[in-house]
Amino acid sequence: MAYDEYSADSDPGPISAQRWIEAAVDQCADKIPSEKIVLGLGAYGYDWPGLDNQDQNVTYQQALSRAHTSKSIIDFDDDTYGLHFSYKDVNNNKVHQIYFNDAATHFNSMRFASEYNLAGVALWRLGSEDGRVWKFYNRDMTEEEARKFNFKELQTVKTTKDVDYVGSGEVLNVLYTPQTGKIDLKIDTADMLISEEKYVKIPSTFEVITYGETPDNVLVLTFDDGPDKTFTPQIIDVLSKYHVPAAFFVVGLQAEKNLPILKRLYKEGFEIGNHTFTHDNIAKISTDRALLEMKLTRLLIEAVTGHSTILFRAPYNADSEPTTMEEIIPVALARQQNYLDIGENIDPEDWEVGISADTIMARIIKDVNNKRGNIILLHDAGGETRKETVKALQRIIPYFQSRGYRFISLSELLHKKRDDLMPSIPKGSGYYIIQFNLALATITYWASNFLQSLFIIFILLGIGRLIFMVILMIRERKKKNVILLMRQ
């Protein structure tokens, strides 16, 4: 285990300097035959936050992500064969020191192991290593074999689909998307070692900054999938009764059917977010369609309220810590349109068929008590199950208020004003186009309602006509029966 030369309880320094490894092996070989020694390679790093001396393990990819985010220069020490950089955390004004190993470090260590006739090498820890190590890990690393190795294979660092988080909270903002890295190498041809390594282009994974960390006694209510003509007004009434703010993430198709409710939401001070136009899974449709879904809903919100929105929540993937591609793709696409993705950690799954208000409330209480987060996800559309959501809401608010909790808006959570999250549309050519869109949407809304009403009227008239004809038929039959009796 020739690693942790500098570790969690020490000052910052190399994970395993080459000379330190050699000294450790020499000491071990005094007691154990070299052919029985397996050399452990430290395939990880440490992030020392400077001021409080608290360490943090980092993987190779995490180290690169932090270097990329902070625009730091990675230094390859040609004496230790390790890497180092420092960066300043603007959130807490701390200077961090990161030391880590990569494929070049391991290449040089394996060359030493081969020349020392060790039994082999082991990697600690799997999953945190530089993936380039697998290009030579199973090779004979003698000088003769090392000369046959194509070092160009180490000049490209492929990205991964990992997600690296910075900050804390349930509001997500994608800083960077994956990009491949480029590295220049210099080879010591005398000993066949990597003598110099320069990260020309630092690779990156999905790097997400999170916001909105709040005290434990603060909660935020959010509602998805509406507006609904039956249940959204009921929810608004409950919120207004208790003077509680909330954010509504609307579906474009639903909003088109309920324009007056959308207007009411904004007029009564609630925040409105984009939940796509058709509520399809963003990760499973084309990028063009996904962007169109966001754009159409945003245009509708702008037309109806006169304000845009930078709030977005992806259907089916509202998790505040996405880890899979299906979860992170919607967040990345939303970032392209300058949205903030609003996640959540408290989800009672009130959309489940047959769920009761008691179950909804019990799940929320459990998650809040377990300090899972501050943002609560409920639904104001989606069928008759919303009756239970309304019942639960009537109990949730007074329950938590009586226990010292405070319900706040997303704007307060982010230390912003509502107009920052829903900026007004300036007057101009674009403004009048939006007004034209509003006129079309309004005409469509009233026309569809008129036709729907007309359709119902025609059905009722048809039913009335049928009933009238049945009555006439019965009367006619009775009349004929009377005539037959008189003739007899």
Q: Which residues are catalytic?
A: 224, 379
Are the CB atoms for 39 and 118 separated by under 8 Å?
Answer: yes
Angle of the 386-401 helix axis to the 357-369 helix axis, nearest 10: 40
Question: Residue 287 and residue 333: Cα distance in Å, rounded?
Answer: 8
Q: Return the amino acid letter for 182.
A: K
| Cis? peptide before 178, omega within 30° of 0 | no
Which residue, 66, 89, 84, 311, is CA-closest to 176?
66
Q: Which residues pair with 216 in a beta bridge?
A: none
The residue count for the chain: 488
Q: How far is CA 228 from CA 129, 254, 382, in A?
A: 50, 7, 8
Q: Which residue has the tokens 């994970």?
A: 15
Cα distance between residue 266 and residue 279, in whole Å: 21
Question: Is the bond leading into 125 cis (omega within 30 degrees of zero)?
Answer: yes
In this structure, are residues 182 and 201 in contact, taking their beta carbons and an 8 Å threshold? yes
Rounded distance between C-alpha atoms, residue 379 and residue 228, angstroms: 10
C-beta neighbour count of 385 within 10 angstroms: 17
Beta-ladder partners of 209: 166, 173
Burial class (CB in 10 A: 0-12, 13-18, 19+), 275: buried
Strand 340-342 to strand 171-176: parallel, antiparallel, or no bridges (unpaired)?
A: antiparallel
Rounded Cα distance, 464 and 471, in Å:
10
The DSSP call for residue 396 is H
Q: Could you list the beta-strand ranges (E) of 193-240.
A: 193-201, 206-211, 218-224
User: Strand, coil or helix: what is 159?
Assistant: coil
248/244 Cα distance (integer angstroms): 13
Looking up tokens 């630092």 gives 202
**Under 8 Å CB-to-CB from 125, ≥6 apart: which residues?**
43, 44
- Residue written as token pair 């391991």: 106
